[in-house]
Amino acid sequence: MSFDPAQLAALDAVLRLGAFEAAARALHVTPSAVSQRIKALEDRIGTALIQRGSPCTATPAGARLARHASDIALLDAALARDLALPGTPARLRLAVNADSLAVWFLPALAGQEMLFDIALDDESHSADWLRRGEVSAAITAHARPVQGCDSLPLGWLRYIATCSPEYMARHFPDGADAATLASAPMLQFNAKDSLQHDWLREVTGQALSPPVHRLPSSQGFVEAARLGLGWGLNPEALVSEPLARGELVALLPGHPREVALYWQVNRLVAGALTPLTRAVRAAAAKALVPPE
């Protein structure tokens, strides 16, 4: 089955921009024309593709078809690149965890001949974006490939539990143990973030539930720890200098936590993404603990 490129472009624009009017402006057509293209595509598929709202979102069928349109654009762009033909950059949707984005991932995107649409999610959940067909590649903590994907080990992102010296003196005057860790305010990225709880279980052998501040920012995590709001696990690369200056201290210096990261990419577009995959692996090699 083949699809009308104009209809696929309308679907992609509505889902990417969240509104029919914005899609119309991007495509240089009227909102009515966008609506007609979407309706024709839905009639052909036999199901709704967009959930109207603010913003508009994809139905499961819409997400899958939008990913198909994105895959075709990536393959077309790769062919144009290989044949040295003029072309427009394809858009690649990725799922990446915040700490990778803050520490090492962005240099891999520099110099790539494509546009990026990055979905931010915890590394333990980013593979779900691949399963739903909403992205073509992801940084994930899962070694097992998502169906239809290849999984490549990147290395280990090392974390250190840190807090300010004043916070340490106030909450852990005799050192951090299960009793003090259970009551000291902790930093958490969001409700999905289990990194601190996993570390607590690892170092105490108990499932502790301390009070938490939720702060969805990698740099904000470091600053919040420095200001004494709470303690949290921060990537070593982000806290090495504050630790050296004495602005932060390690709760338990002998207990870092390392999270294995993998690059998973849809096999249909793996060839088209070869230059990016090479760049991702090179950037990871410079910043992460090497994979075993």
Report pLDDT digits (tens) over 28-73: 999 999 999 999 999 999 999 999 998 999 998 998 888 888 888 8
> pLDDT at residue 161 above 80?
yes
- Average pLDDT score, the chain: 94
Residues 166, 167, 171, 175, CA torsion sign: negative
Distance CA 207, CA 45 (A): 48
Which DSSP string corresponds to 184-238? S-EEESSTT--HHHHHHHHHHSS-----EEE---HHHHHHHHHTTS-BEEEEHHH
* pLDDT given for residue 3 in this prediction: 87
Distance CA 198, CA 208 (A): 9
Q: In the beta sheet, which residues pair with residue 119?
A: 95
Q: Which two tokens stand for residue 118?
A: 């990055």
Q: Is the alpha carbon torsion for 5, 8, 78, 25 positive or negative?
A: positive
Q: Residues 135-152: what's their mean pLDDT?
A: 96
- Two tokens, residue 57: 């979102």
Q: With left for phi above 0 and alpha for psi between -120 and 50, is residue 246 left, alpha or beta? A: left
Q: Which two tokens stand for residue 171?
A: 């909450």
Q: Length of the chain, please?
A: 292
Distance CA 38, CA 59 (A): 13
Alpha-carbon gap, residue 171 to 180, rounded angstroms: 7
Greatest CA separation for the chain: 69
* Helix (H/G/I), strand (E/B), else coil: 231: strand
pLDDT band at 119 (very low <50, low <70, confident <90, very high): very high
Nearest to 261 by CA among 284, 235, 237, 239: 284
Which tens digits make up the pLDDT trace of 88-105?
A: 788 899 999 999 999 999
- What tens digit of pLDDT does each residue of 2-34 get? 789 899 989 989 998 999 999 999 999 999 999
